[in-house]
Amino acid sequence: MSDLFDLAGKVAVVTGGSRGIGKMIAEEFVRRGVRTYITARKADACRETAEELSEFGECFALPRDLSTMEGVNAFVAEIAEREDRLDILINNAGAAWGAPFDEFPEDGWDKVMDLNVKSVFFLTQRFAPLLRAAASAETPAKVVNIASIDGIRNPDLDNYSYVAAKAGLIHLTRRVAKQLVKENIHVNAIAPGAFASDINVFARDNPDAVAAMIPSKRLGRPEDMAGAAVYMCSRAGDYLVGITLPVDGGVTFAT
């Protein structure tokens, strides 16, 4: 039997791929022989990560701000100039905002909703022709949206736009999955728990305190996120459609 988790020769896009969860996934893809394109708003960081990951295989930086339709369209056009198909799309780019309820600003709402929900939909829509070119009944193309356990549970945090966006993304995943499965494009989501990253500053700066609240008693590691993405995007995950997989050490369902 061939390796169920083999990804060699595939083409992938990882948004927000310069750091954190996006980098965890991108690095594993590159190591497994995937030609991987990463994008991020900060051009220098994006190029530095691509240069670092290129030691293991093919990784290319195409910096763009995906919070605007101009950025979305320009990024898709750049990929289309280089590739005639796209096997894997990882919609990871996202933002968070925290402020007390009575002080929560409109710009904090709009920034998070635009990047975490709107851009995910339109990136998937715009990339659909390349995903269709890669897809077949035997080898579906894959889209993985990076949600959050805060879109499933109800946290005690002042992150109102973030929880709304991630809950919306989870349901959007189900709806788009229902549509695109007809064309052999399988859409799923991963809901990370506590990983030490720039978006989860509390976990990064207080790892022991956060770990004590997790049933598995530790933070997420890069291989936890990479393994979930490889599973979903390889033949091992071909029967997954519209699901959201919590990768959280048990916080959502074992607490």
Q: Which residue numbers are catalytic?
A: 162
For the purposes of burial, counting CB atoms within 10 Å of the CB of 52, is it exposed (0-12), middle (13-18) or buried (19 or more)? middle
Collapsed DSSP state (helix, strand, coil) of residue 179: helix
Give CA–CA dist 20/95, Å, rounded. 12
Q: What are phi and psi of 132, to 5 degrees?
A: -60, -35
Structure tokens at 26: 């991108």
CB 106 within 8 A of CB 160: no
Tokens of 97: 């905002």
What is the residue-wise DSSP string for 73-97?
Answer: HHHHHHHHHH-S--SEEEE------
What is the sign, positive or negative, of the torsion defined by CA atoms of 113, 167, 25, 88? negative
CB of 249 within 8 A of CB of 203? no
How far is it, in rounded angstroms, from Cα 59 to Cα 51?
7
Q: How far is CA 169 from the centre of its chain?
A: 11
Rounded CA separation 45/37 (Å): 14
- Where in the chain does DSSP place strands (E)? 11-15, 35-39, 59-61, 88-91, 141-146, 185-192, 244-247
The amino acid at 118: K
